[in-house]
């Protein structure tokens, strides 16, 4: 079972992660006492159906498992909530990568990312590269907070245009449900969110004073900046974003990496900028 191809930016995103993983493993090969984990929170089926008659291709999970030089990861942990995708990926790994220590589980990414944080805190010899590629605003800010101070490099796809911005209504009339979703996603109160994205002016009219609500311009870009700022409160370094746009040139996602390692963020920026149009 393959997944649908998501466009040119899907290829670019995968290439960024795979190239970073190779550089990451090159560095980690110099530290034989440390063990490495690759964690994928939305692993998919392992196969992406071809676009416009093209052949199917390996997804990020299997491309990462194909890395053998200078070394593979010591452990792979794949999380997928869709049972069909989970089974398909599990079968691919058992068929082609049976010698590796790989775990494929059906669960919510938030649960397993928190478990990863607890594992790293209790096992300081382990380092993790985590790739979080959610379908929407699935990752809770409380989950990200669990990773503070740990040996993890986190690549995360942030649905700024296709997620959070759609909840920030132009007129500011946001339902309680949507406010709760934004609060959970950003880790901010609705008061703080309002201050970031709306201006309220009192104007005099024929019928007395009225409050005029204006949504900030370039809200999607500001969501990307805000999320990077929030990551900077958890990690020491945050990369520049790889901004993904649709065919109408509208921003869909900001893709960025957070780490406590200065060398890691330099590599991330080097991978993003020269090759992917940033």
Q: Which domains does the chain have, with CATH numbers?
A: 8-160+217-272 (3.40.50.150)
If one compares 273 and 259, the residue with the highest pLDDT of the two is: 259
Using alpha carbons only, what angle is made at residue 139 by residues 64 and 246, rounded to the nearest 5 degrees?
70
pLDDT tens, position by position, 90-114:
999 999 999 999 999 999 999 999 9
231, 260 Cβ separation under 8 angstroms: no
Confidence bin at 30 (pLDDT 50/70/90):
very high
Residue listed under structure tokens 């063990």: 35
**SS3 assignment, position 120:** helix
Distances in Å between the Cα of 176 and the Cα atoms of 180, 185, 267 are 6, 14, 41
Bond before 70 cis per omega within 30 degrees: yes
Alpha carbons 220 and 163: distance in angstroms, whole number: 10
pLDDT surpassing 50 at residue 5: no
Cβ atoms of 38 and 129 within 8 Å: the answer is yes
Could you report the per-residue pLDDT of 208-250, keeping only the tens digit for each? 778 788 999 999 999 999 999 999 999 999 999 999 998 899 9
Longest dimension (CA), the chain: 77
Residue 13 pLDDT exceeds 70? yes
| Joined tokens for residue 65 | 């498992």
């Amino acid at each position: 079972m393959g997944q649908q191809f998501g466009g040119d930016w899907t290829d670019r995103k995968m290439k960024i992660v795979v190239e970073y993983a190779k550089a990451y493993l090159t560095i980690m090969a110099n530290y034989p006492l440390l063990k490495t984990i690759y964690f994928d929170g939305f692993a998919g089926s392992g196969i992406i159906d071809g676009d416009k008659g093209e052949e199917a291709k390996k997804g990020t999970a299997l491309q990462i498992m194909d890395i053998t030089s200078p070394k593979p990861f010591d452990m792979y942990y794949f999380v997928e909530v869709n049972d069909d995708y989970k089974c398909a990926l599990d079968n691919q790994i058992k068929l082609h990568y049976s010698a590796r220590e790989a775990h494929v589980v059906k669960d919510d990414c938030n649960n397993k990312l928190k478990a990863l944080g607890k594992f790293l805190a209790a096992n300081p010899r382990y380092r993790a590269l985590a790739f979080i590629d959610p379908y929407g605003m699935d990752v809770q800010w409380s989950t990200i907070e669990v990773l503070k101070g740990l040996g993890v490099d986190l690549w995360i796809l942030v649905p700024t245009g296709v997620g959070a911005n759609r909840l920030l209504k132009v007129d500011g009339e946001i339902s309680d449900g949507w406010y709760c979703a934004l609060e959970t996603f950003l880790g901010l109160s609705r008061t703080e969110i309002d201050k970031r994205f709306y201006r309220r002016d009192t104007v005099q009219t024929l019928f007395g004073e009225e409050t005029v609500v204006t949504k900030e311009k370039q809200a999607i870009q500001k969501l990307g900046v805000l999320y990077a700022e929030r990551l900077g409160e958890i990690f020491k370094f945050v990369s520049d974003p790889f901004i993904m746009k649709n065919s109408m040139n509208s921003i869909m996602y900001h893709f960025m990496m957070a780490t406590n390692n200065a060398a890691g963020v330099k590599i991330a920026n080097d991978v993003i900028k020269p090759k992917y149009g940033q």
